[in-house]
């Protein structure tokens, strides 16, 4: 299957590292012009340079903006007035005892993880509908359906994205625009190896260490290893393509079988 996004413009929020950077690279390989977003100019420039090494001759557009604010969203839209593929990846997470989460923290998680995506969807979806083609995606998590006790504020925000995604899919019904959520499972991103080695034998090679960790601390995982960011990106690139034209209003799992359910 040849996934060709040539001639399309994409914006991937929070894409200077991790899953977002992998998605940006994947979309660029498929031929899309890709907006790379972060809050600081230096970080965005470094990310664009790294991505350019991975995907030579690709067209990466630096989008420096704090998308958790109205001003930042307006700055992104000014930088990229028209977007064909919007990937709402921006998100924050941190462990916190349930009864110690403050009002300000609840508001921050909603602003960053949910409202940033709503603002950009509101900005770009009308143009997609008018042109008769578009792709909107929200990077959710297994935590959206399996709320983690150590960070229920994060789980709440990812559950909200499922409702947002389904609602906007209904808004775009019959227009040629698809809207979906992607449920990412435990992923090998920055800091994960350090975290794993805090819980398992430091002398183990990484491949064995992650399997021990999964077996002892994430036994629900059927993959029994961490998911690589590129594996999440593969789903996003497919959903961004013409071949995914009949997939909309869905919550598609790339969780390694972590969620113990037949459907989300």
Please identify every residue annotated as catalytic: 154
Q: Which residue has the tokens 């009864």?
A: 99
The percent helix, strand, coil of the chain (3-state, each to 5) is: 45, 15, 40
Q: Which residue has the tokens 């999964």?
A: 214
Q: How many other C-beta atoms are found inside a 10 Å radius of the C-beta of residue 142?
A: 26
- 26, 236 Cβ separation under 8 angstroms: yes
Cα 51 to Cα 37, 48, 58, 168: the distances in Å are 12, 5, 9, 31
- 35, 73 Cβ separation under 8 angstroms: no
Q: Which residue has the tokens 């083609």?
A: 133
CA dihedral 33, 39, 41, 46 (to 10 degrees): -60
Sign of the Cα pseudo-torsion (157, 160, 165, 171, in order): negative
Q: Say whether 42 sits in a helix, a strand or coil.
A: helix
Cα 252 to Cα 86, 205, 232, 233, 248: the distances in Å are 16, 32, 11, 13, 10
């Amino acid at each position: 299957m040849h996934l060709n996004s040539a001639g399309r413009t994409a914006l991937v929020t929070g894409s200077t590292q991790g899953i977002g950077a992998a998605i940006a690279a994947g979309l660029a390989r498929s031929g899309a012009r890709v907006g790379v977003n972060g809050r600081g100019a230096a970080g965005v420039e470094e990310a664009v340079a790294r991505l350019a090494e991975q995907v030579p001759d690709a067209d990466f557009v630096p989008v420096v903006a704090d998308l958790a604010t109205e001003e930042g969203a307006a700055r992104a839209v000014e930088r990229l007035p028209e977007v064909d593929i919007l990937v709402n990846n921006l998100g924050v997470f941190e462990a916190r005892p349930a009864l110690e989460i403050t009002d300000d923290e609840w508001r921050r998680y909603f602003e960053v993880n949910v409202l940033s995506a709503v603002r950009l969807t509101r900005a770009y979806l009308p143009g997609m509908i008018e042109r008769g083609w578009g792709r909107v995606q929200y990077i959710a998590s297994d935590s959206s359906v399996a709320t983690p006790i150590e960070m229920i504020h994060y789980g709440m925000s990812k559950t909200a994205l499922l409702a947002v995604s389904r609602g906007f899919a209904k808004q775009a019904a019959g227009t040629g625009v698809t809207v979906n959520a992607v449920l990412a499972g435990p992923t090998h991103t920055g800091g994960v190896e350090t975290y794993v080695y805090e819980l398992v034998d430091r002398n183990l090679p990484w491949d064995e260490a992650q399997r021990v960790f999964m077996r002892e601390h994430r036994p629900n995982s059927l993959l029994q290893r961490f998911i690589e960011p590129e594996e999440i990106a593969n789903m996003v690139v497919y959903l961004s393509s013409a071949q995914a034209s009949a997939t909309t209003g869905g919550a598609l799992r790339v969780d390694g079988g972590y969620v113990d359910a037949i459907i989300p």
